[in-house]
Amino acid sequence: MKIDFLYFEDCPSHDQALARLRQVMAEEGVEAAIAIHKMETETQVQAWNFVGSPTILIDGEDIDPPPPGTPAALACRVYRWEDGRISPLPSPEMIRRALRSRLHREEGDS
């Protein structure tokens, strides 16, 4: 499993998001390495189609796919949690669901 963590320094809670990702991975028994990418330039933003910080990709798929047409930008990202709350960070359940979905697909492939 390939996990990419993309962040923009101006958004202050990326450390918290990374810690949350590591915590949920540990809880789910996922031992994959996390590739951390600091977004600094417009070139990077476009290359990654970065829609905001933090963004977590599992095998290239966003754990919370943004609506089509969401512009790529050096910005902080809005996550809407399962209970309707707005947060700058993905919820643990959001991360967990994405990891489990990928694990199930891997099981189906093998």
In the complex, least distance from residue 50 CB atom to other proteins, rounded to whole angstroms: 15
Residues 56-72: b if buried by 16+ CB within 10 A, e if exposed: bbbeeebbbeeeeeeeb
3-state SS, residue 18: helix
In the complex, least distance from residue 58 CB atom to other proteins, rounded to whole angstroms: 21
| 11 near other proteins (CB under 8 A) | yes
Per CB under 8 A, contacts with other proteins among 46-105 are 73, 75-79, 85-89
- 34 beta partners: 3
Q: What letter does residue 10 receive in the DSSP assignment?
A: T
Measured in whole angstroms, the distance separating CA 63 from the mean position of its chain's CA atoms is 5
| 10 near other proteins (CB under 8 A) | yes
Only one of the segments 5-13, 26-34, 38-46, 100-108 lies at the binding site for other proteins (rule: CB under 8 A); that segment is: 5-13
Binding footprint of other proteins on the chain (CB under 8 A): 10-13, 73, 75-79, 85-89
